[in-house]
Amino acid sequence: MKPSKQKRLAAAGWRVGDAAGFLGLSEAEDLFVEIKLALSDAVRKRRTKLGLTQGELARRMQSSQSRVAKLEAGDRTVSIDLLVHALVALGATRQQLARILSSSARPATSSWNPITRLVM
Amino acid sequence: MKPSKQKRLAAAGWRVGDAAGFLGLSEAEDLFVEIKLALSDAVRKRRTKLGLTQGELARRMQSSQSRVAKLEAGDRTVSIDLLVHALVALGATRQQLARILSSSARPATSSWNPITRLVM
DNA sequence: TGCCACAATGTCCGATCTGACATACACTGG
DNA sequence: CCAGTGTATGTCAGATCGGACATTGTGGCA
C-alpha cells in the first residue's frame, strides 16, 4: 500500500460509505497488506530453500542486498512489483505465485509486531 | 536436499533447484509482462461485468479515469500494485486473484470476441 | 447532423520507489 | 575476544509512478 493513499484517506475525513461495492476501504487495505506479507514470506522461504544469500538474490534481480532485506521484512517502501520480480528471479511460476496468493498470510505469531508499521 | 549442501553447490557456481537460475533476464521479464496483462484483462472483465464505467472504478480506488484506461490497456506506466488495487476495489478475493494469475494470459486478439467478455 | 456518455491518449508535476552506499547488528568458528 | 559472513537499518539522488487535466476518439440515439 502506498503512503500516498493513506495520506489521501486521512485528509478531510474520508468516508467509507462511498467505498468499493461491498468492501469497506479498510478491508481492502487489509487485503492488500495480507497479499504483500504473503509474497514477502514466500520470497524468504524460496531464497533460503535455495540456499541463497540476500546478496545473491539481489544480484539475480539486479537489485541490492539492502533492498532484498527490506523486501523480506515487508517494508512499506517495497512494491508488489518488486516482490514479484524477486519471486520470478527465484524461479516461481505463475501457478506457484497463484498458490502463494491463495494460501493464508503470515501465521499468527504473537511475537510479530512491526505489522503496524506496514499499515499502508 | 539440505540447504547447507545447496549453499555449497551454489557457491561453487552450480545452479541449484528449479529453473530459476536458468531463466534469462528476458524470459523473466516476459513472465512479468504476462502477469500484468492477465491482471489488466481481469480488471476490464470484472469492471464491465459489474456494469461500471472507468470513471466509477476510478472513484472507488481514488484514482482517475485516465489511469484506469491505462490500467486496462496494459500501459507500462502502471504497476502491479495499482492493478491489484483495482481488482480489490472490484471485490476480488485472494483466491480470485490467484485464479487470475494461474490462468493463461491475454488470448490472441484475432480470437477476441465481445461475447466472451460478457460471459466472463 | 448534433449531442452525450464513455473510453483512449498525451502531458505534467509532485509523490513514491529504487539501487547504491554506509553502517550497524547477529551469529559462528577460531 | 576477534574476523568473517550474512542480515538489518538509514539515507539519498535519480528514476519511476501517480492523479489530474486536456484533448481526442468512439459509439449510440434522437
pLDDT digits (tens, 9 = 90+) for A62-115: 999 999 999 999 999 999 999 999 999 999 999 999 999 998 655 544 334 333
Q: Which of A25, A102, A104, A106 to mutate to test the interface with B (most CBs of B within 10 A)?
A: A102
Inspect the interface and report whether the beta carbons of B99 and A98 lie closer than 8 Å: yes
When the pLDDT of each residue in chain A is averaged and rounded to a whole number, the result is 77
pLDDT at B94 over 90: yes
pTM over 0.85: no
Q: Please enumerate in sequence order all residues whose Cβ is within 8 A of that of B20, keeping only pairs 6 or more positions apart, or say none.
A: A50, A60, A89, A90, A91, A92
Cβ atoms of residues A96 and A102 within 8 Å? no
Q: Which residue has better confidence, B1 or A16?
A: B1
Cell numbers of B106, please?
491475454
Q: What is the pLDDT of residues A11-60, one digit of tens each?
A: 323 333 333 445 566 888 889 999 999 999 999 999 999 999 999 999 99
Cβ atoms of residues A88 and B28 within 8 Å? yes
Instruction: Please compute the mean of the pLDDT values over residues B69-97 and round it to a whole number.
Output: 97
Q: Which residue has better confidence, A106 or B42?
A: B42
| B31 → closest Cβ in A50, A60, A88 | A88
A48 CB and strand D closer than 7 A? yes
How many residue pairs from chains A and B have C-beta atoms closer than 8 A? 117
Per-state percent for chain B, helix, strand, coil, to nearest 5 = 70, 0, 30
Alpha carbon A109 to its chain centroid, in Å, reads 17
Greatest alpha-carbon pair distance for chain A in Å reads 49
A117 CB and strand C closer than 7 A? no
| B32 → closest Cβ in A51, A88, A90 | A88
B66 CB and strand C closer than 7 A? yes
Cβ atoms of residues A6 and A12 within 8 Å? no
Q: Would you place residue B104 in the very low, low, confident or very high pLDDT band (cuts 50, 70, 90)?
A: low
When the pLDDT of each residue in chain B is averaged and rounded to a whole number, the result is 77
Q: Which residue has better confidence, A9 or A26?
A: A26
pLDDT number for residue A29: 85
Q: Report which of A13, A69, A75, A26 is spatially closest to residue B88, judged by C-alpha positions.
A: A26
Positions on chain D within 7 A of a protein C-beta: 5-11, 16-22
pLDDT number for residue B12: 33
Please classify residue A14 by burial: count the beta carbons closer than 10 Å to its beta carbon, then call 0-12 exposed, 13-18 middle and 19+ buried: middle
Please classify residue A113 by burial: count the beta carbons closer than 10 Å to its beta carbon, then call 0-12 exposed, 13-18 middle and 19+ buried: exposed
Cβ atoms of residues B91 and A23 within 8 Å? yes
What's the CA gap between A118 and B99, in Å, rounded?
A: 26
Chain B positions with Cβ closer than 8 Å to A: 3-10, 16-21, 23, 25, 28, 31-32, 34-35, 38, 50, 59-62, 79-81, 84-85, 88-91, 93-95, 97-102
How many percent of chain B have pLDDT more than 90? Answer: 60
pLDDT at A6 over 70: no
| Nearest-neighbour CA in chain A from B112: distance (Å) | 23
- Residue B62 amino acid letter: Q
Cβ atoms of residues A40 and A83 within 8 Å? yes
pLDDT number for residue B26: 81
What's the CA gap between A54 and A71, in Å, rounded?
A: 10
